[in-house]
Each structure stands twice: as structure tokens, then as C-alpha cells.
Amino acid sequence: MRREQPGRVIVGIDGSVVGLRALRLAVAEARRRGASLHAVRGLNIDTKWYAGYGSPHEECKREGAETIRATFTATLGGVPEDIEVVCETIVAPPWRALVDYANRDADVLFVGTRQRGWLRRMFRRSVARYCVAHAYCPVVVVPPNTFARTASSRDLVRALRRDLAGLGG
């Protein structure tokens, strides 16, 4: 009789606003299940540009670890201590890194998605769409909240400048 490996809660880390929301939901799910949380950052690099300049993988893994730590700090004030947290940086395109990592039937994968214009959809692959189509485990696609959905980047910059001006004087 084959013993089933325990399920994990896996979340893709990219540092976006909707990614922060996905992380919060993944932490809540890991607590509810009593499962370990795996924060995965996929980095798509072209190693041919690093010829003779050391190992690109070590530098990228260091950068990925810093991004994961910063994301936990921005979202929760730090890495939660009440659940087991595993941080992984994988040098591969994010969509492939997440699908390859979430390879157990009992896993659950959290990914954020954002609204994208037609030009961006044409030239950039949707990580969430790829994960839904190719993952072996259930995938939870987290949409942007109302504020992130309705506000343009120009509106966000204006609001930030207004807030900073109010703090300065």
C-alpha cells in the first residue's frame, strides 16, 4: 500500500499587490489545514549573459530570498511562527516553477492574477492561467481587490504623493 504524502499549501511570490493578498489567504489556509506553507519565487533568467561572471543561480536565489522575506514583512509583519514555512527560489519561468513544485495531489496552489490589457496578454503569458491548465493539484486564483481593480497606476501614484505631502508639512 502506497502512503500518500501530506499536502502542502504553496503560494507564488511576485511582490505584487494581488500577490500579497494571495499570501494572506495561503497563510490562513495553511493554518486551517495544519499544513506547511511553501512560498515559491520563480525567476526567469537567461544564463548566457552571465558567461564568465560567476554563478547567476546563487545571485538570483539570494535576490529571490530577499523578495520573499520582504513580501512576508509587507503582508504579515514577518514570517509566521505558528506554521512551518519553507521558502524556495527556483531559477525557471514562474509558471513552470510553480507547476513543477506543486506536484502532489494533496497540495493546493495559490496564485494571484491581475487585469491585463490586450497588449500585455499578447506578449506575456499568464502565470495563473498556465497553473490552472497544467497543475496536478487544486489551484486557487486570487483576483485583485476592489481598490487594486479600479485604481490605475497613475491614480495610485497621485494618492501616494498626496499622502507623502501631507506627512511632510
Q: What is the pLDDT of residue 1?
A: 41
What is the per-residue pLDDT across 55-94, written as a single tens digit (0 to 9) for each? 667 777 888 889 999 999 988 999 999 999 999 999 889 9
Q: Give the model's pLDDT for residue 120.
A: 55
Phi/psi for 84 (5° steps) reads -75, 130
Residue pointed to by grid coordinates 502532489:
104
CB atoms within 10 A of CB 40: 23
Q: Domain spanning 9-168 has what CATH number?
A: 3.40.50.620
Q: Which residue has the higher pLDDT, 153 or 31?
A: 31
Q: In this predicted structure, which of 19-28, 72-81, 113-122, 133-142 has the lowest mean pLDDT?
A: 113-122
Summarised one tens digit per residue, pLDDT across range 138-152 is 999 998 877 666 666
Across 104-129, b (16+ Cβ under 10 Å) vs e yields eeebbbbbbbbeeeeeeeeeeebbbe
